[in-house]
């Protein structure tokens, strides 16, 4: 955080506007890592940062409250059997309304951090998933044909060869 002297030397600063006195501005000091997850399970991603020399910051998104039904998503939880159990290294492709999204399941999001599983795919206004395809580290491929549910969790377990 820092403080602006809006009545004196900082009066021309964009954040002061016409505010008299001083203004305390809170911000990250030096984030060392961050993780994305849906902490409140409302469909939008929240952020937790680890600050250097300070307590973590938890930034909870209210996008779902503001956008309502137009915020659609699908979470994909993978379980490996031939591949590693967490399926790290898998490539997941989600297809909805002709649009494709691809993510590599690596669990990383920052230095010394791991985002919460499952994988999250924001779908915008799209209301159904046509297919989910998983290319497993073992070389196998799984395909779930739609329509698949949105705004929830889809679990995919690697099938034996």
pLDDT at residue number 44: 83
pLDDT digits (tens, 9 = 90+) for 27-53: 656 777 788 888 888 888 888 888 777
Lookup result for tokens 């034996």: 160
Beta bridge partner(s), residue 10? none
Q: Give the largest CA-CA distance in the chain.
A: 72
Quickly list DSSP for the chain: -EEEETTTTTTTSTTTTT--SEEEE---S-EEEEEEE-TTSSSS-EEEEEETTS--EEE---HHHHHGGG-EEEEEEEE-SSS-TT-TT-EEEEEETTEEEEEE---EEETTEEPPSSEEEEEET---EEEEEEE-TTS-EEEEEEEE-SSEEEEEEPPP-
Residue 16 has pLDDT above 60, yes or no: yes
- Per-residue pLDDT tens digits for 125-152: 888 999 999 999 999 999 999 899 898 8
Residue 76 has pLDDT above 80, yes or no: yes
CB 7 within 8 A of CB 21: yes
pTM, whole model, 2 decimals?
Answer: 0.73
């Amino acid at each position: 955080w820092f403080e602006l002297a809006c009545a004196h030397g900082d009066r021309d600063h964009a954040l002061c506007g016409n505010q008299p006195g001083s203004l305390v501005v809170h911000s990250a000091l030096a984030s060392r890592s961050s993780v994305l997850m849906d902490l409140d399970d409302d469909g939008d991603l929240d952020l937790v940062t680890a600050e250097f020399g300070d307590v973590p910051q938890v930034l909870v998104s209210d996008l779902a409250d503001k956008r309502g039904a137009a915020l659609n998503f699908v979470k994909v939880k993978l379980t490996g059997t031939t591949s590693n159990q967490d399926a790290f290294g898998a490539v997941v492709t989600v297809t909805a309304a002709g649009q494709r999204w691809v993510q590599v399941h690596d669990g990383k999001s920052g230095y010394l951090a791991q985002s919460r599983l499952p994988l999250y795919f924001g779908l915008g206004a799209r209301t159904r998933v046509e297919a989910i395809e998983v290319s497993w580290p073992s070389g196998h491929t799984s395909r779930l044909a739609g329509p698949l549910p949105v705004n929830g969790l889809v679990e995919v377990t690697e099938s034996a060869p």
